[in-house]
Amino acid sequence: MIKTTIKAGLAAALAMLASGPLAAQQSTQDAFTAAVGSLTRRLGPVESGPEIATTDAAANAADLAAIEQALDLFGEGDFPLNGFATFESVCEPLNRLSVRHVLDGAAALRRPADAAPPTPAEMQTFTAQLQTLQLQNAARYQDAMTVLTGGGLRCMVKHFPTLSAFLAGLPEAERTPIRIDGARKMRQGGAQTLIGFAMALRDPSTTPENRARLAAYLAEVADPLAAALTPELRTYVTASIDQLPATQDPEALATTALIKTAMATDTCESLCRY
C-alpha cells in the first residue's frame, strides 16, 4: 500500500510538472482571510445586507468550513498569533460575522429616521421582537453561529496572554478605568458564552455535529478562561451551570464536570488581577 501510494504521488507530481509550474500553496492564514472576506462581502452589513437565507448557501458553507479548518490550526505553523494584530485580523471579523448572523433581519425592526423617541412600551415591544429574532436566527443558522461564536471565544482566549502582558507592562497611571473595564467586559463576555455553550449542549435541537464542536471548544478554553476570570465570575459560572436542566447525556455531563473543575481554581494571577 505504501509503495502504491508513493507511486501514485510521484505520478501526480510528474503530471503537474509536465503541465506547467506548480501553483503556490495557500497558507492557512491566507485561507482564513480569504474565507472571512468572501463571507463578509456576500452577506454585507446588518443594516443593508440581504437576508442570509437568500444568499448562496453552498458558498457560505464552504467559507465556514475553511474558517473552521483554519481556526483549528490558529497559533501554529503558518497561522501564528501576533499580539493585537491577530486580535484585530482574526477575532474581530469572527465577532462581526457572528453578530451579522444573530441580527439578520433586524433592519426591518428599525424605526423611521424622523420618528419620535420611542415610549417605554414601544421599547419593551422592540426588545421582545429583537429577542425573538435572535432566537430564530440562532436556530436557523446553528452551524454558522456555533463555528463563528466558538471561533471568537477561542481566538479571544488565545490572546489573553497578550492582553495580560500589555496591562502588566503599563505604568500604574496608564491602567486607566477604560482599559480595566475593557478587560472586565471581555471576561464577562467569555463567561456568558461559556454558559451559553453549556446550555446548547443540553438542548435537544443542537445537532450531533454541533454538540461535538461545542464539547471540543469547551475542552479547549475552560482552563485558560477560568484562569482569567475573577473568583466572583468563576462562582457565577458554576452556579449558572448548576441551574441548567438536568441531563443524562454522557458528553454533556463530562463537559459540565470539566468546566466546574476548571472553575474550582482559587488562584488569581495574570489577567485575573486586572
User: pLDDT tens, 2-17?
Assistant: 333 334 443 443 333 3
Note down the domain range covering 133: 28-47+59-106+127-144
152, 91 Cβ separation under 8 angstroms: yes
Q: Are residues 274 and 163 in the same domain?
A: yes
User: pLDDT tens, 160-175?
Assistant: 999 999 999 999 999 9
Q: Are residues 163 and 135 in the same domain?
A: no
Kindly compute the dihedral angle of the four CA atoms of residues 174, 178, 180, 181, in this order, to the nearest 10 degrees: 180
**119 assigned to some structural domain:** no
Question: Considering the entire predicted model, what is its pTM?
Answer: 0.86
Q: Are residues 163 and 272 in the same domain?
A: yes
Q: Are residues 131 and 172 in the same domain?
A: no
**187 assigned to some structural domain:** yes
Q: Are residues 133 and 171 in the same domain?
A: no
The mean predicted confidence, pLDDT, of the chain is 90
Q: Are residues 136 and 163 in the same domain?
A: no
In total, how many domains does the chain have? 2
User: pLDDT tens, 53-104?
Assistant: 999 999 999 999 999 999 999 999 999 999 999 999 999 999 999 999 999 9
* Strand partners for 76: 79
**81 assigned to some structural domain:** yes
* Strand partners for 79: 76
**137 assigned to some structural domain:** yes
Q: Are residues 99 and 172 in the same domain?
A: no
**83 assigned to some structural domain:** yes
